[in-house]
Amino acid sequence: MRHVFFSWVLSLGMAALCACSSTSAKNIPDVEPPALTPPDTVAINKVIEKIAEKPPKVEVDLEAAHEFFFLAKNMELHGDHRQADFFWKQAYKADPTSRYLGFGVAERLAAAGEDSLALVEARKASALKGRRTAAQFALLARLYVKTGEQDSCRKYFVLALDSSRYQDMGLLYDYSLFLEAVRDEKELVRIYDMLLPKVNYISTLFQRQLSLLLNLGRDSAVVDLFGKVHEATGDKQMLLQQVRGLMAMKRSKEAIAIVDTLTSAKPEDEEMTMMVLPSIPGDSAYAFARKKYYEDGVRTPAVLCFIGQYEYDMDMRDSAKVHLLESVGKLQGQPKYANRGYLGLVNIFLSEQNYTEAIKYAEKSDSVSNGDTRMLLASVYALADKYEKAYPLLDSLSKFWETWQPLPGVLDSAKLVQMKNEAQIKYLQVLDIYSRALIGEALDIEKDMRADTVKKARALDNRNRAEAMLEKFFAKDSTYNRVRLSMAMNLERLKHYEESFNHFEYLIKQSGFSPREMASTLNYYGYSLIDLNRSPEEVEKGYKFVLDALVLENNGDSKDAYLDSKAWGLYRMGRYDEAYQTMLLIDNKKMSRDDVFWEHMGAIQAALGMKKEARKSYKALLKLNPKHPAALEFLGKKK
């Protein structure tokens, strides 16, 4: 039946075909088929694309793939990598749909140095389905590095790092090398920030990161980096750099908080403590320094020196002296801190009039300050009457600063102006110190009753030289009232009274003086008017100035001298009894070596008819000044 049916169908089909053909040829007109519309074309193209997209059918032999894979692993265990590579390829050939096997083959090609083939296989494998791993992305990234395809390289590095959650140190390092090559500094900083903790802040990478941050101007990140290194390594130098950075950025509160945790006497602890102290106000700085020294264990000479300096500034002289003496002996090799201690001790010993010790520490200061305190040394020599040592230093300093010129190459005009101004200030300081030294020596000679005519001539010459220096100072800057005061007093001694008194008139109207300085100025001017005794009006004027000085001085060290001026004013005005009562208020133990005091006492006593008492006073005067004319005349002795 089957065969008969088939034949019948075939016959029927052929008959129908013939019938159709015959009909078409005879009855249907010959016309063109309709053209394709645009939608038809789009539909056909889509079909073609779908057909083209269909991957060719792949033959997969999983059993063979598994067998070759295990053989490959076995060869690797035995160290036969050549055979292992062969079986990897066979396994991938048996299952070309395996992403894992594809990347395995690519890895081995890369290891053999066949980078081009490795990239081809890796790209093919990356299109396969399967688990995507950081190692696969990393392989693609490294292969793209070698071909120089930056965009692809960056893309796969980022994918690899994201997949590994940035925990793969080798991958981070390779990515950093790529970023160095393409000079992407911002991204490189981010990667180094993750890489550095993993390598314990190895020096080479740390220095590179530091350089990058500095180039990018990221100061805060630099400071944070030092803190991270210290936290990881315990390196105090890193903490010191962090504190320096914080102070430079004016983040002093953070720096102080760090220093507050320090508990050892290492050099870094000392330096950090000294670094933050100037940013702490007044008493708080003193308390902080004492806490670090006595409680926290930062028992170093520099911190102790700071404590001594503060105590000196607060007039705690005894403890300041103890602490400064203890600290400077241990500050060898630390000239910056030692010099501060030396300067404090110079001032303390000068206040005690211990000129030997003052000179000793002034010389030590000069030896560690590269000449910066040479003017101080000259001043101390002058105060100690060591004029033969003071003048050569002052001559040298005067010549240097008067003729100072900037070194060649200073092109910044603002900087040049600043340097010239500083040089002029130094020159004026020398003139000031030199003139005071000359006046001081002149005063010493004038007080010396045994001084011969040569010495007296020297005193006069000194005052004239001092006047020339003060005039030179005044011509350059007339705003310094203390210099004007020196000039006024020196002119008075040179008997240039009108010039002197004009300066005094100007000075007593100024508001820049302290009460003590104003009292001294008023007393000097008032006493000069009284002693000169040119007219009753001037004497009375001078007397009022002395009274004003006494109000300002109250119970100060100069009270006895001002009382003497008051008594002399009363004497000049003929009020002898009041003058005598005023003299009795003076502590004569303090004034026992003052010839002026005995001169005034004798004259007042004589005016009151107290001949016996006057005789004693004039005898005391002659012991101090054997040639005093008033004493010789009263006692009836030959002049």
Q: pLDDT tens digits, residue range 570-620? A: 999 999 999 999 999 998 787 778 889 999 999 999 999 999 999 999 999
Q: What is the pLDDT of residue 47?
A: 55
Taking the C-alpha atoms of residue 187 and residue 198, their distance in angstroms, rounded to an integer, is 18
57 φ, ψ (degrees, to nearest 5):
-65, 125
What is the residue whose two structure tokens read 């965009």?
Answer: 151
Q: How many helices (H) and strands (E) in the chain?
A: 33, 0
State both tokens at 76. Answer: 């690797």
For the packed helices 387-402 and 374-383, what is the interaxial angle rounded to 10 degrees?
150
Q: Does some domain include residue 617?
A: no
Would residue 28 count as lying in a domain? no
Q: Output the six-digit token pair for 138.
A: 């990393």
**Domain count within the chain:** 1
Tokens of 32: 């063109």
Quick one: 639 exposed, middle or buried, by C-beta within 10 A (0-12, 13-18, 19+)? exposed
Cα(328)–Cα(351) distance, rounded to whole angstroms?
Answer: 19
Provide the pLDDT for residue 33.
Answer: 46
- The alpha carbon torsion through 531, 536, 540, 541 (nearest 10 deg) reads -80
140-183 pLDDT, tens per residue?
988 888 888 889 989 988 998 888 888 888 888 888 888 888 89
Taking 70 as the pLDDT cut, the residues of the chain under it are 1-58, 410-411, 638-639
- Provide the residue type at 29 as one letter: P
Q: Is 104 a member of any domain?
A: no
What residue type is assigned to position 449 of the chain? M
| Residue 499 forms part of a structural domain | yes
55: amino acid identity, one letter:
P
* Domain residue limits at 420: 414-505
Length of the chain: 639
Q: What CA–CA distance (Å, rounded) separates 434 from 416? A: 27
Q: What angle do CA 257, 261, 265 make, to 5 degrees?
A: 125
Residue 436 included in any domain: yes
- Print burial letters for 264-299: b (CB count within 10 Å at least 16), e (below 16): ebeebbbbbbbbbbeebeeeebbebbbebbeebebe
Q: Is residue 231 part of a domain?
A: no
Q: Are 378 and 393 in contact (CB under 8 A)?
A: yes
Cα–Cα distance, 223 to 247 (Å, whole number): 10
Does residue 437 lie in a domain region? yes
Cα dihedral: 327, 328, 333, 339 (round 10): 120
CB atoms within 10 A of CB 212: 18
Residue 127 inside a domain? The answer is: no
Looking at residue 32, its pLDDT comes to 47
**Distance, CA of 496 to CA of 494 (rounded, Å):** 6
381 touches 364 (CB < 8 A): no
pTM recorded for the entire structure: 0.67
